[in-house]
Amino acid sequence: MNAQIRQTAANEWEIPRGFVPGMRVPGRFFLSKNLAETLEDGALTQLANVATLPGIIRCSLGMPDIHWGYGFPIGGVGAFDAETGVISPGGVGFDINCGVRMITTPLHVSDIPDMPGLIEDLFTAVPTGVGSKSPCRLSQQDLTGMLENGAKHAVMMGYGTERDILRCEENGAMDGAQPEHVSKKARQRGIPQCGTLGSGNHFLEIQTVDKIEDQETADLFGVTEGQICVMIHCGSRGLGHQVCTDHLQILEQAVHTYGIELPDRQLACAPLSSPEGEAYFGAMAASANYAWANRQIITHIVRELFVKKFRIEYEEMPLVYDVAHNVAKWEEHDVNGVRQNVCVHRKGATRAFGPGRRELPHEFQGCGQPVIIPGSMGTPSYLLAGTKGAMEKTFGSTCHGSGRVQSRSSAKKSQTGEEVARALLAQGIVVRAPNQAAIAEEAPEVYKSSSEVVRTVHDAGISRIIARLRPLGVIKG
């Protein structure tokens, strides 16, 4: 560990002010001894850079899956004061509201004798890969509806149930969406892509619950051992990417307009209260809503396939929860003992609200929200719960996944897609992707261990492990 970094608890570290010039607050991050060697110098510097931004509250935060990203590190959290703070696309990420949802089924492993067949059918039903095209013909009006009302609009169109909405963070639609700040170009990319999985680390996975660590909370979440589940990981596709690109350009100018000094151009931002900052927030919220609609439509496609194939009822595949990984949101938090409305940026980080938060459905008031942490291809995913500790230490946030440790190009050099797929099949995991390179780039070896990341946040008390899920079949984008 860098000599300037101070250890403050078993898995907790502090970057002191002065690590980079202009830090207004310290940086803090969570990392176990085993993960220490995965920490990149660049990510550490980025975490310190975030602490220089105007109006940042208490500290910049890094989760154990931290790695180098655009401006902010991935696995980064920053909360900003409503009056003096800024909003930054680099603190949200290009894939606005990249997120993950988990659906349970009444099936067990023995009910799916032909996993390759199921995966093939799902691969055909859910458009996958770069530039894949939508299964639904979306009108301009429906696109606007999705930008304004997210998953609610998708349900209104017939893609899901009223109950689904209650099981999405923000009820599947953020307040403050302003479709008028989503460019025509972004809309053009969004229309043909809604209901598509995308590429990279996005996936659709068939899993089984193989270990319950907290039976009481698992019961509340509706999860039982041996059950087959579906996990969907995707975001706002080309639309969110275009919104980020468009507004970065505007905010790079705003940096000069408002005389903001930045250690890195990629931290382009504007005051939360400025027209430029408000425009980005409105467009970002609209993109987040599009992503919720996207995951909702994919959920519907999967349910229809299961209903037909396994002769079950649509309602027998309830949504456990849907969480956002890349978003900035207004939330109330305690700041120096005062309840304050702050703008929390989570980039590659998950909300982990503990018991008693009014945003949560009544059934989760006592146990905290479900937190879904996807593993890499072939490694376990986890269902966690939010905690009081997260409210106190991390503005109600935890990790989002495993975190890449090897570049895509390097991954392709070390193994071919065929080799990776064969190794996974030997472990009983079926993999399907549009091309072999996609599989090589996502080999389990290129990621930090999801188990180690999850263990770290559990031990630090910023979420707690409820159940572990083992992959059986994976569709990669």
Q: Which is nearer to DNA, 131 or 361 (CB)?
A: 131
Q: Which residues are catalytic?
A: 400
Is beta strand 430-432 parallel, antiparallel or unpaired with respect to 464-476? parallel
- Residue 203, annotated as binding a ligand: yes
Near DNA by CB under 7 A: residue from 34, 188, 273, 451: 188
Map tokens 């898995």 to a residue.
Answer: 11
Contact between 189 and DNA (CB under 7 A)? yes
For 464, other C-beta atoms within 10 Å of its C-beta total: 24
CA angle 192, 197, 203 (to 5 degrees): 175
200 interacts with DNA by CB under 7 A: yes
Q: Which residues pair with 101 in a beta bridge?
A: 232, 322
| Site for DNA contains 271 (CB under 7 A) | no
The token duo for 126 is 């859910």
| Residues in 306-345 at the binding interface with DNA, rule: CB under 7 A | none
Residue 381 assigned to a binding site: yes
Least distance to DNA from the beta carbon of 336, Å?
Answer: 36
* Residue 210, annotated as binding a ligand: no
Instruction: Please answer whether residues 375 and 382 qualify as being in contact, where contact means their C-beta atoms are separated by less than 8 angstroms.
Output: yes
Among 181, 187, 202, 448, binds DNA (CB under 7 A): 202
Q: By rule CB under 7 A, what count of residues binds DNA? A: 21
- Spatial CA neighbour of 379 closest among 295, 461, 453: 453
Structure tokens at 38: 């995965």
Angle at 246 between CA 240 and CA 247, to 5 degrees: 90
Name which position in 55, 198, 370, 471 contacts DNA (CB under 7 A).
198
Burial class (CB in 10 A: 0-12, 13-18, 19+), 12: middle
Minimum CB distance to DNA smaller for 129 or for 150: 129
Rounded to whole angstroms, how far apart are CA atoms 110 and 98?
32
Q: Which position among 242, 299, 381, 449 is part of the footprint of DNA (CB under 7 A)? A: 242
Does 160 participate in binding DNA (rule CB under 7 A)?
Answer: no
Task: Name the segment binding DNA (CB under 7 A); options: 11-19, 80-88, 232-240, 261-269.
Answer: 232-240
Cα–Cα distance for residue pair 293/313, rounded to 1 Å: 22
Among 46, 61, 72, 95, contact with DNA (rule: CB under 7 A): 95
Determine, following the binding rule CB under 7 A, whether residue 131 of this chain makes contact with DNA: yes
Distance CA 190, CA 242 (A): 9
The reply, when asked if residue 376 is annotated as ligand binding, is yes
Give the whole-angstrom CA distance, residue 285 versus residue 287. Answer: 5
Q: Does 106 bind DNA (CB under 7 A)?
A: no
The answer on whether 202 is annotated among ligand-binding residues is yes
Does residue 294 interact with DNA by CB under 7 A? no
Place of tokens 């890094």: 62
Residue numbers belonging to the annotated binding site for GMP? 201-205, 325-326, 374-377, 381, 400-403, 476
Binding-site residue positions for Mn(2+): 95, 202, 233, 325
Residues that bind DNA (CB under 7 A): 94-95, 98, 130-131, 185, 188-189, 193, 198-202, 234-235, 237-238, 241-242, 477
Residues annotated within the binding site are 95, 201-205, 233, 325-326, 374-377, 381, 400-403, 476
